[in-house]
Structure 1
Amino acid sequence: MEETEKTYTAWGLDEGEHEAQGLKPMLTPEGQVELLKAKGVTFDRCSEEQAIEALSGRDTFLHTAAYRKLFQVHREGGKAGQYVKLDFADLLDLDALDGRLRRTFLAVTGDIERIAKTRLIARLADDPTEDGYGIVSEFMQGQRATYRNSIARGLKARAGSSGGADTYSGNLIEHYRSAMPVWVFLEVVPFGTLLAFLLFCADRWGDKALENRHYELTGVKAVRNCCAHQSCIINGFTDGNRASHAPRYRIMEWLSGREVGSARARKEKMRNEGMQQLVTTLAVFDTIEGQRSSDTKAALVELSGALKNHCQRYGEQNAFVSFLSFLAKTIDAVRDI
Structure 2
Amino acid sequence: MALDIEHFAKVELLKVIENSDIDAYDLVEDYIKSLDEVRLKILNDELNRNMNNPYCGDIIAKYKDNYPIWDFMEVIPFGRFINVYRFCAETIYDKKLRDNYFLLLSIKDLRNATAHNNCLINNLSPRTSNHRTNYGLIHELSKIGISNEVHSKKMSNARIQQIVTLLYTHKRIIKSDGVINHQSEVLNETITRMYKHIEYYRNNEMVTTNFGFLKTIVDNWYPIV
Establish whether TM, by shorter chain, passes 0.5. yes
Larger relative helix fraction: 2
* Aligned pairs (5 A) from 1:316-327: 317-327=204-214
1:137 paired residue number:
29
Structural mapping, 1:128-167, within 5 Å: 129-159=21-51, 165-167=52-54
From 164, 167, 175, the counterpart of 1:290 = 175
CA deviations 1:3-41 (Å, max 9, x no partner) are xxxxxxxxxxxxxxxxxxxxxxxxxxxxxxxxxxxxxxx
How much does 1:310 deviate? 4.1
Residue in 1 that maps onto 2:4 = 111
> What corresponds to 1:229 in structure 2?
116
Aligned-residue RMSD, C-alpha:
1.9
Could you list the per-position Cα deviations for residues 109-145 of structure 1 after superposition, in whole angstroms to 9, with x for gaps in the alignment?
A: 0100110011111221222x22310000001111222
Identity %: 27
**Conservation of the 8 A alpha-carbon contact between 1:112 and 1:288:** yes
Distance in 2 separating the partners of 1:324 and 1:180: 45
Q: How many angstroms apart in 1 are the aligned matches of 2:17 and 2:56?
A: 22
String of CA shifts for 1:197-234, please: whole Å, max 9, x gaps.
11111211222222111011111111101101111101
Query: In the alignment, which of 249, 253, 257 is matched to residue 143 of structure 2?
Result: 257
- Off by >4 Å, runs of 4+ in structure 1: none
Query: Which segments of 5 or more consecutive residues in structure 2 lack a partner in the other structure?
Result: none
2:67 aligned with 1:180, yes or no?
Answer: yes
Separation (CA, whole Å) in 1 of partners of 2:85 and 2:222: 25
- TM-score normalized by the length of structure 1: 0.61
Aligned to 2:18: 125
Secondary structure, aligned partner of 1:213: helix
Q: Which residue of 2 aligns with 1:272?
A: 157
Q: Which amino acid in 2 is paired with 1:124?
A: I
Unaligned runs of 5+ residues in structure 1 are 1-107, 160-164
Sort the Cα spacing of 1:310 and 1:248 in 2 relative to 1 into closer, same or farther, 3 A.
farther
How many corresponding residue pairs? 222
Per-residue deviation, residues 19-76 of structure 1 (Å, max 9, x unmatched): xxxxxxxxxxxxxxxxxxxxxxxxxxxxxxxxxxxxxxxxxxxxxxxxxxxxxxxxxx
After the TM superposition, which residues 1-337 of structure 1 pair with which residues of structure 2 at under 5 Å, given as runs?
108-127=1-20, 129-159=21-51, 165-239=52-126, 242-259=128-145, 261-291=146-176, 293=179, 294-315=181-202, 317-335=204-222, 337=224
